[in-house]
Amino acid sequence: MSEFDAALTTFAQESEELLISMEDALLSLESSPDDSETINSVFRAMHTIKGSSGLFGFNAIVAFTHEAESVLDKVRNGERAIDAELISVLLDSKDLTARLIEHCLTQKDAPLPPELEAASARLIKQLSGSKETGIQASEAETSKLESEGGGDISVDGSWLISLKFQSDALRNGMDPLSFIRYLQTLGEIKEIITLIPGMPDGDEMDPESCYLHFKIAFQSDASKQNIESVFEFASDDCDINILPPNSKVEEYLNLLDAQDESHVKRIGEMLVQVGALTQNDVNRALQKQNESRESDDQPGKPLGKILVEQHVVQEPVVEQALKKQEQTKQKLAAEANYIRVDATKLGQLINLVGELVISSAAMNLIVERHGLADAGDVAASMNTLVSSIRDTALELRMVQIGETFSRFRRVVRDVSNELGKTIELQISGGETELDKTVVEKINDPLMHLIRNSLDHGIESPEQRLAVGKPAEGIVQLNAYHESGHIVIQIADDGAGLNCEKIVAKAIANGLIKPDHGLSQQEIFDLIFAAGLSTKEAATNLSGRGVGMDVVKKNIEALRGTVGIDSEEGQGTTITINLPLTLAIIDGFMVGTEMDRYIIPLSMVDECIEMDPNECEIDEVQHYINLRGQVLPYLRLGDYFNSRKSDTVKRRESVVVVKSGQNKAGFVVDELHGEHQTVIKPMGKVFENLKGITGATVLGDGNVALILDVQGLIQAAIKNRTRPANFLKA
């Protein structure tokens, strides 16, 4: 039973993946309807789901997917053109399949609810009923002629051997006749035709040259290899082509089919293995391929084609081999490149690696304390290993964000249809990687933001044309890495935010007072406040004013930030900044008089010594001159321990940190250097604590706190607007 359940789980996962890839494929078909590979992948999705559902006896799914499959098969064979209408129907079919699967998985034995039944019947009708656009199956199966460039021999069940002796053959001591005679020891020569295509007239003929070509129909049970070995000595002076009898073709096809799929083989290799070709055939064909490639810059002709042209193997055999090769490739692509791993196991591994990092830090500490020079080397090399293990382990959890992004293509398509707008989604940076847990949690906020852009951002086509924009709106999704963070941007070229509207609404809601004196940026940030929506009428998509605050909260829960930038009439850009991982980071350890803190290394720009002269005027001035730039700074010790420490002059350092556009300095007493930091959650007690994101266990067993650079800078900015308070703090 449990095995069955496991199989069901696999089925569910597999179908989900297939359906996702099907949706992607369908959407990309909209722009490039002739891409046969994409059509194939849609077909495969339906086909595979049908097959696996059959295994479990989910007849409803089988019945439906069968219809979809047959329509797709027609498309694949060119009997039916793919158009927007069909794509819509297929997208609906995909959704229905998903629902059918869900139904079958949750209530296996219950009959299909009527609405599913109806939907399925309707779609089947749409699938098959919509116009069967022409392109009838071209009578492709025109009977092929065994044209053998010269004499025609057509004896079924016989090998066709063509021997083209070169002119030097006789001079080199070859006797064509002896080969033919020897051939008879292997079987029976049914028919032989002698050709003399290159024979010059009269005087020009050199009696010592050989002009003879032979076509032999040969009946034998010997393998191709054996027949070829008859002509082994002649191979230098003679072009030998041995075409297997048609009766053998069947055998080769079966053998090809039975070949194992453990790795992708080259086509020649496959054909040699089943005996349809000999190694010599392949070598010659490869040579030919190289020659043809040298002549022009194009990639050479496919090997299969050359082989057929050379009449060493029948076309069906090559086709079958190609098909098999393709199958193997796909199977391997699906199987070997990925191993399904339970996410919790991966989590355990990461935790263990975390512990490893901590203990290796402890070991380093001891080695250092005892001054063991030889142990130091070992410790250093182990350190390197540990950090690469750490990086690799974390990479295991990294996934590309592209899949998440492309899911939104469907959203954009559906929503823009619903709203009567034409909107194009442009995706870039899909290959950017980030932690899987982050990806999962970012999905909902992204969905929300995109819907917002579609609904509020992009105007209707008429409005757009009226202000001189193209009717089609553009929403851009972009992701890239920036100093240990991943940045995700959602940009639209719509109407932009209207400051006055926001302010009016905020005042109406009592969020701000009429004499607010807020900067434009602060006004934009208001839309993240609860209960604020600038859309007058709420649609069923968005506009209820719940959401943006949830978006902000969700992103902050991932230790990320969200910012907004907008220009009225030009569009809005929302920028999400997220940490790459939630587990282990490279940190930079600093110390104030009593405590030690970790600053994420990716945010540290540089460290400089605090100039004592600057310190003198500390009380009034909280910035220093960094190579001509103003750098505001924060005294970590004072900020955190609100009581003023006794002003013993120490040597202080400034750690210059950078967060987005902002740069700031943290004044600390000690610099401890780099430290591999395993982020330990601080627990619910500290969830509202600003300025600290987590804690880590140091090598000596103590706990150090990890600074939230962005949070600190923001807190400082906030405080600066109330200077009196800040000074006291």
Binding stretches for another protein (CB under 8 A): 355, 358, 594-595, 639-642, 680-692, 695-697, 701-705, 725, 728-729
Q: How far is the CB of 662 from another protein (least distance, A)?
A: 20
Q: Which is nearer to another protein, 14 or 595 (CB)?
A: 595
Both ends of the chain: CA-CA distance in Å? 65
In the complex, the smallest distance separating the C-beta of residue 550 from another protein, rounded to whole angstroms, is 17
d(CA 425, CA 405): 10
Shorter beta-carbon distance to another protein: residue 268 or 711: 711
* Cβ–Cβ < 8 Å for 171, 209: yes
- Whole-number minimum distance, CB 723 to another protein, in Å? 12
User: Could you tell me the two tokens for 389?
Assistant: 């293990």
Nearer to another protein, 352 or 396 (CB): 352
Tokens (6 digits) for 532: 């604020």
Q: Whose Cβ is closer to another protein: residue 298's or residue 642's?
A: 642
Minimum distance between the CB of residue 688 and another protein, rounded to whole angstroms? 4
Helix (H), strand (E), coil (C) string for 2-40 = HHHHHHHHHHHHHHHHHHHHHHHHHHHHHHCCCCHHHHH
Q: Is the Cβ of residue 406 or residue 696 nearer to another protein in the bound state?
A: 696
CA 668, CA 654: separation in Å to the nearest integer?
Answer: 6
Q: What are phi and psi of 14, to 5 degrees?
A: -60, -45
Q: Please identify which residue in the block is written with the tokens 């509202």.
A: 688
- Minimum Å gap between C-beta 636 and another protein is 9
Q: Minimal CA–CA distance to 663: which of 617, 706, 627?
A: 627
Could you tell me the smallest distance in angstroms from the CB atom of residue 510 to another protein? 19
Which CB sits closer to another protein, 588 or 639?
639
**Cα 481 from Cα 602, distance rounded (Å):** 11
Q: d(Cα 681, Cα 318) in Å, to the nearest integer?
A: 60
Which is closer to another protein, CB of 23 or CB of 708?
708
CB atoms within 10 A of CB 250: 11
Q: How far is the CB of 34 from another protein (least distance, A)?
A: 51
Angle (deg, nearest 10), helices 36-56 and 84-106: 20
Separation between Cα atoms, residue 254 and residue 270, nearest integer Å: 12
Looking at the Cβ atoms of 241 and 714, the one nearer to another protein is 714
Q: Going along 316-395, which residue ranges are E strands?
A: none
Q: How far is the CB of 726 from another protein (least distance, A)?
A: 10
Question: Considering the complex, what minimum distance in angstroms separates the CB of residue 721 from another protein?
Answer: 13
Nearer to another protein, 513 or 684 (CB): 684
Q: Are the CB atoms for 270 and 305 separated by under 8 Å?
A: no
Angle between helices 84-106 and 59-76 (to 10 degrees): 160
Contact of 484 with 600, CB cutoff 8 Å: yes
CB of 302 to another protein, least distance (A): 58
- What is the per-residue burial (b if ≥16 Cβ within 10 Å, else e) of 571-601? bbbbbbbbbbbbbbbbbbbbbbeebbbbbbb
For another protein, the closer of residues 416 and 696 by Cβ is 696
